[in-house]
Amino acid sequence: MRTIETDVLVIGGGATGTGCARDLAMRGMRTILVEKGDLTHGTTGRYHGLLHSGGRYVTKDPQSATECARENVVLRKIMPHCLEDTSGFFVTTPWDDPAYGDVFVKNCRLTGVPVQEISVQAMLRREPVLNPRISRVFEVMDGSADSFLATRSTALSAEEYGAQIWTYHHVVDLVREGDRVTGAVVEDLRNGERIGILCACVLNAAGAWAGKIASMAGVTVTVLPGKGTMVAMNHRMLNTVVNRCKLPDDGDIIVPIHTVAVIGTTDVHVPDPDVYGIEPDEIQFMLAEGDKLIPGFSQYRALRAWAGVRPLYKDRDVANDRDIPRTFKLLDHAERDGVEGMLSIVGGKWTTYRLMAEESVDALAKRLGNTRPCRTAEEPLPLPPTEHQTTFRPPVRTTGPGASVAAEVEALQHAPLYWLGKHLAEVEREQSFADLICECEMASRSRVLAAIDAGAKNLDDIRRDVRMGMGPCQGGWCIYRTTALLFERRGQDGLSQANSNDALLHFLQARWKGLVPVLWGDQLRQARLDELIYVGVLGADRLRPIAEQGGGLVTDNPAVATEYVKA
Amino acid sequence: MNYETIVIGAGLAGMLAALVRAERGERVMMLAKGHGSTHWAAGCLDLLADADDPLGAINQLVQARPAHPYALAGVAALEQALARVRGVAEAAGYPLVGNAGRNLLMPTALGALRPTAFVPATMVNGEARQLGDGRPILIAGLHELRDFFPPLIAANLRAQGYAAEGVYLELPPVERSHDFNPVVMARLFERPAFRAEIGRQLATLVRKGGYARVGLPAVLGLYNAVEVVRELQALTGALIFEIPTLPTSVPGMRLFHAFEQALTKAGARIQIGGWVLRGEGSGSHLHAVFSEAASREQRHMARRWVLATGGIMGGGLRAEHTGVISETALGLPVRTPSGRSDWFQARFLDEAGHPVFRAGIAVDAQLRPLDAADQIVYTNVAVVGSALADCDPIREGCLEGIALATGFAAGQL
């Protein structure tokens, strides 16, 4: 077994782990990050994409609210290309306690969450589809975030500073010598090779899987996986994030992101972060809740449903699961459990990932005698090769609670904020409309090839990079095209036609899993057309005897398969 | 105008029913919301996929599954339908080749081999038994066409023992930039200069590589494909064959055009763009239907009706999230296999198919729609094609077969 030495081993390639790797590398510490799937394979890639203003937590979890409000501004400065400045509303519907509005505003002030009440008329002018029976509207600095792109960009920065990012590497065991963790054994899922990693410290950033990792070192960390189910609708029927003005509950938020609107979420405790399903009741409940915000919401075409597991950390002194805060916690296992050489960072939100990384790395740096300051809040992230080097700057918000921040961010002249017309504008500028591989999401051939060249390990990875297959047709055309491009591009370096076939079959199945919960109406019709294409025209079902995992593609491995037990 | 028969739907089932009735001298209109699955499918005639001898297997199937559309239409109707559709294609200069007693194995745009019973003459040189003669095969396409990728097709054919190689040709000069979808490409192949240039490139490749056969995307012209193939064969000295691309299906459009010619010749009227939303009847007699086009409702009257609106894909059936499946034109009762929780298999490509797609309208031996108590809903309506219950035409590989058999049977009633 090959053994490699490093200063810090980060476990987990979500927002937090990747953020930690970047911070560590920027401070000059030798860092290896291992992730069992692709980056964002866990919870980061399965959330609704809300850049929190903090508004959702002002009452129940004020510390989280304050952290979100601060990080919201930081992220706008360092990753504008990943964020859309949608703004956000908290609205009082006829089903909500009218008294909560005043409590909400008071608590926003207490926690430092910028807020401004606007008239219902002003709200309806901006978002005419909202329920006219809404009685009060509070505007906050919500936004939407592309968590795939943000994590890719963070990882790219980490690599530029010398970190090694190993995706599709699964932790088989942590090595413990006496009361000290000295490293880990990881397996490369692409070829089964086992590699030993010796390190001064392990940073466990495995999110909902943090308990599983900690137990490998004989340490108990109780993470309660809280499953949240979301539904993407095939229309971006509004351009502002809308929350119900009440304590956070199921189905109370709609986030416009890219070309869709996502309604979320449920919150169901599941025993194992790898085993969960999506219940039909959850979907029906959320669509019905959507109707309260947007009359007729449930009649829009549902695109797809998915679920992620929140990494809720249960402290030893918390008796009731309902009291678990959404804030994060850094566990120093030397102090807590008498086990040296390992820290766990648990809980938290996507919006606060950078702060979580900063605090974790501060603690680690102290331990390793590194005194360099954290600079992750100042230095902007680089753009991955799949991104257009866009020059157009969308108009800057001039009203509402986010106006002053918008001006401040614009003055930095970093990359422009994401805006809905971005990809279309670039396609028009490049005249590449005749070379789109995924028409639904306007992913051009050059971007798909850039994702392949950047090391995507299967079609699902390419999807996370360029959103191919995420639109209304759910891959009817682009799965075939992308498979063929993958073969053409990588056929010379060991990717066989059998591996390509397997990639296609794997991705078809991955799409199906998220479709089944929402298959009725037009989306069922679409699924049937896709069946005609893949069975009746392409004969993909007949490729099974000549399909095989390999060639650097990970298409079927129990370590990364999330088992939807019911759909 | 009063019609003797109005056919609702313009897929193969509706077109054949309309043609047979018009040829009997009836005043016929074919009224449809849009094109049928011709424009999406491979443009071949699938009778039954998993059988070497589809006709023999269908003979057994009609015994074992009396509610299957083949059993309702009868094997004789299928055979007569095949003869008629081949006549229609032949008359349009686009012959269909094959044998109901033996499936052909045709290469797909993935390089898989897919069974089907009849293929256009433009495809037949690609049949697997011919490809297996050991002589080298060239699969050629154009970069600009994103619905056909020669290297992967050739590699998959090689993996199955066929001596294929894939290559991209240079796009001959065109005066402006296009979105090179299959239909645009087919129009370009209508131009003599364009195909001559393709032929010149192919001839060079054939000379160098000694290829006996050349597979090209099925975009070799919309109206004169047989002529284009013949011309390319003369230029290259190799046997040319088409392989169906991703939709839009140019071979399917050619079939549609062949029927359009035949229907026009037989005096039938075709109205596409009229979406039938409801019917008007008294007792078990349907008097009229209402269609919507350009925001205007139109009332259509006829003595006899053929419902050929398709299944879930065609839009003839629509499923709600509540688990209810409805028939969209006349509100006919639909046989739904079970509750929504049992509609789907866990695997997309499960061999058994998804139960929801067996939903459809139950009919009697004369294809008249039945309600849940097996009573006839309308005595003057025949239901044909994918709208029928108890069959999954895509997974059973009989999409065209049941359309033609039931469409022909409805023409005979």
Find where tokens 């390089």 sit.
B111
Both structure tokens of B282 = 């008294």
For chain B, give the percent of residues with pLDDT over 90: 95
Which is nearest to A288 in space by CA: A332, A337, A251? A251
The pLDDT assigned to A567 comes to 30
For chain A, give the percent of residues with pLDDT over 90: 83
The pLDDT assigned to A566 comes to 37
pLDDT bin (cut points 50, 70, 90) of residue A147 is: very high
The Cα B291–Cα A345 span in angstroms is 63
Q: Are residues B298 and B395 in the same domain?
A: yes
The pLDDT assigned to A561 comes to 67
- Of A433, A512, A518, which has the smallest distance from its Cβ to B179's Cβ? A433
Which is nearest to A268 in space by CA: A321, A213, A211? A321
The Cα A208–Cα A312 span in angstroms is 7
Type of residue found at A239: N
- Mean pLDDT score of chain A: 93
DSSP string, B104-147: EEEE-TTS-EEEESEEETTTGGG-HHHHTTS--EEEEEETT-TT
Interface test with B, best of A480, A492, A565 (most B CBs within 10 A): A480
Q: What is the pLDDT of residues A426-453, one digit of tens each?
A: 888 888 888 999 999 999 999 999 999 9
Which is nearest to A472 in space by CA: A440, A444, A507, A446? A440
- Residues from chain B contacting residue A534 (CB–CB below 8 Å): 349
- Residues from chain A contacting residue B249 (CB–CB below 8 Å): 537
Q: Are residues B185 and B130 in the same domain?
A: yes
| β partners of residue B106 | B114
Q: Are residues B340 and B362 in the same domain?
A: yes
- Residues from chain A contacting residue B217 (CB–CB below 8 Å): none
Identify the structural domains of chain A with CATH numbers, from first to last.
2-44+148-222+317-368 (3.50.50.60), 80-143+224-311 (3.30.9.10), 422-546 (no CATH)
Q: Of B243, B268, B285, which residue is a domain's last? A: B243
Q: What is the pLDDT of residues A96-106, one digit of tens each?
A: 999 999 999 99
Do A546 and B313 make contact, defined as CB atoms within 8 angstroms?
no
The pLDDT assigned to B258 comes to 98
Q: What is the pLDDT of residues A45-75, one digit of tens each?
A: 999 999 999 999 999 999 999 999 999 999 9
Do A508 and B394 make contact, defined as CB atoms within 8 angstroms?
no
The CATH number of the domain holding residue B218 is 3.40.50.10660
- Of B114, B152, B160, which has the smallest distance from its Cβ to A484's Cβ? B152
Contact B367, B71 (CB under 8 A): no
The pLDDT assigned to A555 comes to 79
The Cα B412–Cα B23 span in angstroms is 11
- Residues from chain A contacting residue B340 (CB–CB below 8 Å): 280, 520
* Total tally of structural domains belonging to chain B: 2
Q: What is the pLDDT of residues A340-397, one digit of tens each?
A: 999 999 999 999 999 999 999 999 999 999 999 999 999 999 999 998 777 788 889 9
B102 within domain boundaries: no
The CATH number of the domain holding residue B279 is 3.50.50.60
Q: Are residues B193 and B165 in the same domain?
A: yes
Q: Are residues B263 and B384 in the same domain?
A: yes
Q: Are residues B211 and B261 in the same domain?
A: no
Residue A131, pLDDT > 60, answer yes
The pLDDT assigned to A433 comes to 85
B117 within domain boundaries: no
Contact A459, A452 (CB under 8 A): no
Q: What is the pLDDT of residues B60-87, one digit of tens each?
A: 999 999 999 999 999 999 999 999 999 9
B393: domain range? 2-95+253-412
Residue B176, pLDDT > 90, answer no
| β partners of residue A169 | A188
Q: Are residues B21 and B136 in the same domain?
A: no
Contact B259, B311 (CB under 8 A): no
Contact A360, A330 (CB under 8 A): yes
Do B108 and A541 make contact, defined as CB atoms within 8 angstroms?
no
Q: CA of A241 to nearest chain B CA: how many angstroms apart?
A: 26
- Of A283, A284, A532, which has the smallest distance from its Cβ to B40's Cβ? A532
Q: Are residues B236 and B268 in the same domain?
A: no
Interface test with A, best of B103, B119, B156 (most A CBs within 10 A): B156
Q: What is the pLDDT of residues B283-307, one digit of tens each?
A: 999 999 999 977 789 999 999 999 9
Contact A16, A209 (CB under 8 A): no
Q: CA of B23 to nearest chain A CA: how many angstroms apart?
A: 31
Interface test with A, best of B50, B103, B110 (most A CBs within 10 A): B110
Residue A139, pLDDT > 80, answer yes
- Residues from chain A contacting residue B180 (CB–CB below 8 Å): 434
pLDDT bin (cut points 50, 70, 90) of residue A321 is: low
Which is nearest to B51 in space by CA: B405, B354, B398? B398
Do A491 and B41 make contact, defined as CB atoms within 8 angstroms?
no
Q: Of B196, B225, B243, which residue is a domain's last? A: B243
Q: Of B201, B225, B243, which residue is a domain's last? A: B243
B113 within domain boundaries: no
B111 within domain boundaries: no
- Of B108, B146, B399, which has the smallest distance from its Cβ to A539's Cβ? B108
| β partners of residue A116 | A139
Which of helix, strand or coil describes residue A230? Answer: strand
Helix (H) or strand (E) holding A71, with range, is helix A62-78
In total, the C-beta contacts within 8 angstroms joining chain A to chain B are 154
Residue B205, pLDDT > 90, answer yes
Q: What is the pLDDT of residues A260-311, one digit of tens each?
A: 999 999 888 898 888 888 988 899 999 999 999 999 999 999 999 999 999 8
Q: CA of B205 to nearest chain A CA: how many angstroms apart?
A: 20
Cα→Cα distances A199→A4, A179, A340, B139, B194, Å: 9, 15, 12, 53, 65
B104 within domain boundaries: no
Q: Are residues B238 and B261 in the same domain?
A: no
Indicate if ipTM > 0.90.
yes
pLDDT bin (cut points 50, 70, 90) of residue A563 is: low
The Cα A174–Cα A214 span in angstroms is 9
Q: Are residues B203 and B294 in the same domain?
A: no
Q: Are residues B257 and B403 in the same domain?
A: yes
The Cα A292–Cα A283 span in angstroms is 15
The pLDDT assigned to B23 comes to 97
A243 φ, ψ (degrees, to nearest 5): -115, 150
B392 within domain boundaries: yes
The pLDDT assigned to A322 comes to 57
The pLDDT assigned to A323 comes to 63
Both structure tokens of A87 = 């703004």
Q: What is the dihedral of CA B44, B45, B49, B54, to 10 degrees?
A: -140
- Find the closest chain A residue to B251 by CA distance: A537
Which is nearest to B34 in space by CA: B357, B212, B218, B275? B275
Q: What is the pLDDT of residues B321-352, one digit of tens each?
A: 889 999 999 999 999 987 788 899 999 999 99
Q: CA of B294 to nearest chain A CA: how many angstroms apart?
A: 21
The Cα B138–Cα B147 span in angstroms is 18
The pLDDT assigned to A562 comes to 58
Q: CA of B291 to nearest chain A CA: how many angstroms apart?
A: 20
B115 within domain boundaries: no
Q: Are residues B259 and B305 in the same domain?
A: yes
Q: CA of A225 to nearest chain B CA: how many angstroms apart?
A: 24
Do B111 and A497 make contact, defined as CB atoms within 8 angstroms?
yes
- Find the closest chain B residue to A288 by CA distance: B321
- Residues from chain B contacting residue A529 (CB–CB below 8 Å): 40, 313
- Of B155, B180, B347, which has the smallest distance from its Cβ to A497's Cβ? B155
Do A525 and B313 make contact, defined as CB atoms within 8 angstroms?
yes
| β partners of residue B269 | B29
CB atoms within 10 A of CB B298: 15
The Cα B407–Cα B307 span in angstroms is 10
- Find the closest chain A residue to B43 by CA distance: A537
> Which one-letter DSSP state was computed for residue A535?
I
Q: What is the pLDDT of residues A453-477, one digit of tens each?
A: 998 888 999 999 999 999 988 999 9
- Residues from chain B contacting residue A536 (CB–CB below 8 Å): 41-42, 46, 394, 397, 399
Start-to-end CA distance of chain A, whole Å, equals 41
The pLDDT assigned to B185 comes to 96
B116 within domain boundaries: no
pLDDT bin (cut points 50, 70, 90) of residue B164 is: very high
Do B247 and A535 make contact, defined as CB atoms within 8 angstroms?
no
